[in-house]
């Protein structure tokens, strides 16, 4: 019997191993910084400030307390829109996947929604909801919804019926069926869809804020653009990308590895 201390040790080792595995990604980002610096030296700081100047500007913005309120506002809007699309999109997609008729009905609609440019949704949202919080939240929701819905539906459609029959024949408890049969399979479709939706949500929220609100990162970007302050603009972009990377690699990627452990075990 393995005690709690052993479990704590194993968990710590797993966290450290996971964090250490990020060095490859850091190397890749640093190579990108070299490329960025090269572009900056070719074009001059007015057109493209280098990574050092941008990071210094971001540090200054954080130090002076200018960045945090805007980042919190944008994060809240992103989480609201994304959270709603993850919940509703996953649930409806799974339901649609369980029925061939519902899948047939929803497939053209999803194609339609996926093809609709987010800027068109934004214009409609501005007409419907005005210049407030609801506009960016709705635009994020509607831009992410079809991505999540399509992933969830595909996951539910491809469930192995034979495995389900085996589970029923052996009278597996519903909880075990859910956690050991349905969830691992569905999650392998859902997680990539969630990651794509996460990336989309940040892009859309910044765009929506730029055009429809007076606060948030998008609005701050609009101000820095009007002042021809390229360093601040890039600093805002870097801040958003840092949040995006943190959300993906500290939240979704560990979740993905956890639910996809069975793949590794099967390969071994």
By beta-carbon proximity to another protein, the closer residue of 26 and 127 is 26
Binding footprint of another protein, residue count (CB under 8 A): 18
Core vs surface per residue 81-119: b (16+ CB within 10 A) or e: bbebbbeebbebbbebbeeeebbeebeeebeebeeeebe
> Which of 33, 119, 163, 237 touches another protein (CB under 8 A)?
33
Scanning residues 229 to 268, which ones bind another protein (CB under 8 A)?
Answer: none
Is residue 11 involved in binding another protein (CB under 8 A)?
no
Q: How far is the CB of 45 from another protein (least distance, A)?
A: 12
> Which of 20, 65, 169, 268 touches another protein (CB under 8 A)?
20
Contact 264, 84 (CB under 8 A): no
By beta-carbon proximity to another protein, the closer residue of 10 and 99 is 10
Q: How far is the CB of 248 from another protein (least distance, A)?
A: 18
By beta-carbon proximity to another protein, the closer residue of 30 and 104 is 30
Is residue 24 involved in binding another protein (CB under 8 A)?
yes
Cα–Cα distance, 104 to 37 (Å, whole number)? 50
By beta-carbon proximity to another protein, the closer residue of 26 and 264 is 26
By beta-carbon proximity to another protein, the closer residue of 36 and 138 is 36
Question: Is the four-CA dihedral 6, 11, 12, 14 of positive or negative sign?
Answer: positive
Cα–Cα distance, 264 to 268 (Å, whole number)? 6
Q: How far is the CB of 26 from another protein (least distance, A)?
A: 4
Is residue 30 involved in binding another protein (CB under 8 A)?
yes
Is residue 51 involved in binding another protein (CB under 8 A)?
yes
Is residue 34 involved in binding another protein (CB under 8 A)?
yes
By beta-carbon proximity to another protein, the closer residue of 122 and 235 is 235
> Which of 5, 17, 65, 161 touches another protein (CB under 8 A)?
17
> Which of 9, 10, 43, 52 touches another protein (CB under 8 A)?
52
Is residue 15 involved in binding another protein (CB under 8 A)?
no
By beta-carbon proximity to another protein, the closer residue of 50 and 81 is 50
Question: Is the four-CA dihedral 200, 201, 207, 208 of positive or negative sign?
Answer: positive
By beta-carbon proximity to another protein, the closer residue of 52 and 99 is 52
Cα–Cα distance, 200 to 202 (Å, whole number)? 6
Cα–Cα distance, 174 to 178 (Å, whole number)? 6
Is residue 23 involved in binding another protein (CB under 8 A)?
yes
Binding residues for another protein, rule: CB under 8 A, are 17, 20-21, 23-24, 26-28, 30-31, 33-34, 37-38, 41, 50-52
């Amino acid at each position: 019997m393995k005690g709690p201390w052993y479990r704590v040790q194993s968990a710590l080792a797993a966290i450290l191993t996971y964090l250490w595995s990020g060095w490859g990604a850091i190397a890749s980002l640093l190579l990108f910084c070299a490329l960025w610096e090269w572009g900056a030296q070719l074009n001059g700081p007015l057109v493209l400030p280098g990574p050092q100047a941008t990071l210094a500007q971001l540090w200054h913005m954080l130090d002076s307390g200018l960045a945090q309120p805007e980042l919190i506002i944008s994060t809240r809007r992103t989480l609201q829109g994304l959270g709603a699309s993850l919940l509703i999109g996953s649930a409806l997609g799974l339901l649609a996947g369980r029925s061939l008729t519902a899948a047939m009905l929803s497939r053209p609609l999803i194609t339609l929604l996926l093809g609709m440019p987010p800027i068109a949704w934004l214009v409609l949202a501005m007409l419907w909801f005005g210049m407030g919080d609801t506009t960016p939240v709705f635009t994020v929701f509607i831009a992410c919804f079809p991505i999540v819905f399509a992933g969830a539906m595909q996951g539910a459609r491809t469930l192995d019926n034979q495995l389900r029959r085996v589970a029923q024949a052996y009278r597996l408890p519903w909880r075990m069926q859910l956690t050991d049969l349905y969830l691992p399979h569905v999650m392998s479709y859902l997680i990539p869809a969630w990651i794509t939706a996460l990336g989309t949500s940040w892009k859309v929220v910044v765009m929506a804020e730029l055009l429809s609100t007076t606060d948030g990162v998008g609005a701050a970007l609009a101000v820095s653009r009007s002042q021809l302050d390229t360093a601040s603009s890039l600093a805002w972009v870097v801040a958003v990308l840092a949040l995006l990377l943190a959300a993906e690699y500290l939240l979704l990627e560990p979740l993905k590895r956890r639910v996809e452990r069975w793949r590794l075990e099967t390969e071994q």
